Structure 1
Amino acid sequence: MRLPGEPEGVQLSTQVLAVGEEFEPPGARDFDLPAIFAGVTKPMLLVVASVVIIALFFLLSTRKSQLVPGKFQFLGESVYNIGRNTIAREQIGAKEFRPFVPLIVSLFTFVLVNNIYGIVPVIQFPTMSQIGFPLALALLVVYPVYHFVGIRKFGLGGYLKNQLFPPGAPKLVYLLLAPIEFFSKFVVNPLTLAVRVFAAMFAGHMLILVFALSGEFLLVYGDGLLKAVAGLSFLAVIAITFLEALIMSIQAYIFALLSASYIGMALAADH
C-alpha cells in the first residue's frame, strides 16, 4: 500500500515483506520525489499550479465586486486584508507600506497554498518541505528587496550605518556589535526565514507518514491488542492533520510577517 502522492519508496507492505516483517520507518529519502518527465518533479508542477490557483482565486473573487460582498468576494477581500493591513501596514508603517502590498499578499498566499497541498487528498505533499523552494523565496525575492529599498532610501553608506551601528551604544561596543549585526541581517535573517517554514512542513509531514505507516504495519502484522493500537495510530493521523492545517496557515503568516518586518526595518531611520 502506498499513500497517495508519496514516492515509490513509501510502500509499507512490500518493504515489510522484503525485510522479514520489520517496520522500516519513513525518512528524508521519501521527500526526494522522482522526476515525472524530462526532469520535472511533482513539487515543480505543484508550484506552478499554485500560481494559477492564486491568480484564478483573486480574479474570480473580484470579477463581480459589489458594495455588499458575497461569500467568495468576502473571502478574497479577507485574504487581501490580512496581507495589506494586518501584515504590511503594521510592519512597514502607514506611510510606506502601499508599494509592498502586492509582494506581501503574494508571499502569504503562495506559501499558504504550497503548504496546504500537504493535507489535500491525492496531492498530499507540501512543496515547502523541500528546502529549495523557501530558500529561493528568501534569497531571491525577500533578501534583495529589503536591502534594495533600504539602499535606495538612505544610500549605501547610510543604509549600512543604520543596519550595523544602532544609535545609543558606546563606540567601543560597536567593535563587537557591528559584526553581530552584519551576520544577523545579511546572513542569518534570510536563512532562518527559509528554514522556519521548511522545518515545520518537513516535520509535520514526517509525523503523518510515521503514524500512517506504523498504523498500517500494526493492522497487517500485529496480533490482538496491537491491531487496536493501529486504530489509535490512524486517529493520531487525523488529529495531526488538523494540527498541521493550523501550522501551515501560521507558517505562511509568519513568513509574510517577517518579510514585511525586514522591509520595515530597512526603511526605518533608527533601529
Structure 2
Amino acid sequence: MKGSFHAPKLDPEFFPGEYYGQQMFGDILNGWFALDRIMLVRLLMAAVLVVLFVVAFRSPKLVPKGLQNVAEHAIDFVRVNIAEDILGRKEGRRFLPVIASIFFAVLFWNVTTIIPFLNISPNARIGMPIVLAIVAYIAMIYAGAKRYGFFKYVKSSVVIPNLPPLLHLLVVPIEFFSTFVLRPVTLALRLMANFLAGHIILVLLYSATNFFVWQLNAWTVVGGLTLVAAVLFTVYEVIVIFLQAYIFALLTAVYIELSLHADSH
C-alpha cells in the first residue's frame, strides 16, 4: 500500500493574520479583519442558527410539529433546566433571552468540531469565548446593579459582614478578584481549552492513522487502533459539545443569581 503522509499544519487556523490576510482578502489593516477558516465557520453556524429559529417560528402553530416542535423543546430545556432551576420562575424568564442565546451559540459553534470539512470549533480560539464571557459578565453586573445600585452591589459582593476590620484588608481583594476578574476569565478559558485540546487530539489521532497506514505498511494494525481511538474520541466530543454549552449557560445563570443576592453571604 503506497501513499504519502502530510503533517497537519495549525498555523493558518490559529494565526490567520499573515496567512489569510494576504492570500484571501489582501492586507487589510495588517490582517486584523482577515476572514480565516475559523471565522467563516463561525459566521456560517451563526447564520444556520438564526435561519433555523426564524423558520421554526415563522408561522407558529398552537400544536407545534416538525422544526417548531424541536425548537420549542430546546428552548424549554434551557428555560426549565437552567434559567428557572437556578433563578426561579420570575427571574428565569427575565434573563432567559441572554441565557438561551449563550447556550445555543456555544452549542452550534461547538458542533462544528466533528462536522466533516469544518473539523474545528470556532471556540477553540480565544476570541469568541472572550466575547461570550463578556456577555455573561455584563448580564451579571446588570443584574446586581439594577437591584442594588452599582456601588452598593460592588460593596455587597466584596464585603463580608461581621468580619474583624483587619480581615477585610485580606478578604476584600480576594472577593473582588474572585467575583469580578476570575469568573469571566475562567468562563472563557474553560471553553477555549476544551475545544482546542479536543481539536489537537483528533488531529493527532487521525494523522497517526494516516501515517501508520500509508507511510509504514508494517504498522497498518497500529493505524487501525489509532482509527478506533479517533472514532471513540469523536463520540466523547459529542458529549463535550453539549456539556460545555450547558456548563457555560449554567454558570452564567449562577453568576446572575449571585448578583441578585449579593447581600446574602
Which stretch shifts more, 80-89 or 207-216? Answer: 80-89
Match in the other structure for 2:30:
none
- Offset at 1:96? 2.0
1:182 CA displacement: 0.4
Gaps of 5+ in 2: 27-33
Query: Corresponding residue for 1:13?
Result: 5
Match 1:51 to one of 41, 46, 49: 46
1:36-185 equivalent positions in 2, closer than 5 A = 36-38=24-26, 39-139=34-134, 141-185=135-179
Report deviation, 1:88. 1.4
Using the size of structure 2 for normalisation, the TM-score is 0.86
Q: Which amino acid aligns with 2:142?
A: F
Residue 112 of structure 2 contacts residue 118 of structure 2 at CA under 8 Å; is this kept in 1?
yes
Instruction: Name 1:246's counterpart in structure 2.
Output: 239
- State the Cα deviation string for residues 150-190 of structure 1 (Å, max 9, x = none): 11221123102221023454444322211111001111100
CA contact (8 A) 2:136 2:252 kept: yes
Identity %: 33
Paired residue secondary structure (2:149): helix
Amino acid at match of 2:67: F
Conserved in 2, the CA contact under 8 Å of 1:26 and 1:210? no
8 A contact 2:13–2:38 mirrored in 1: no
Which residue identity does 1:235 align to in structure 2? Answer: V
Q: Contact conserved, 1:26 with 1:209, CA < 8 A, in 2?
A: no
Give TM-score scaled by structure 1 length.
0.84
More deviation, 52-61/103-112: 52-61
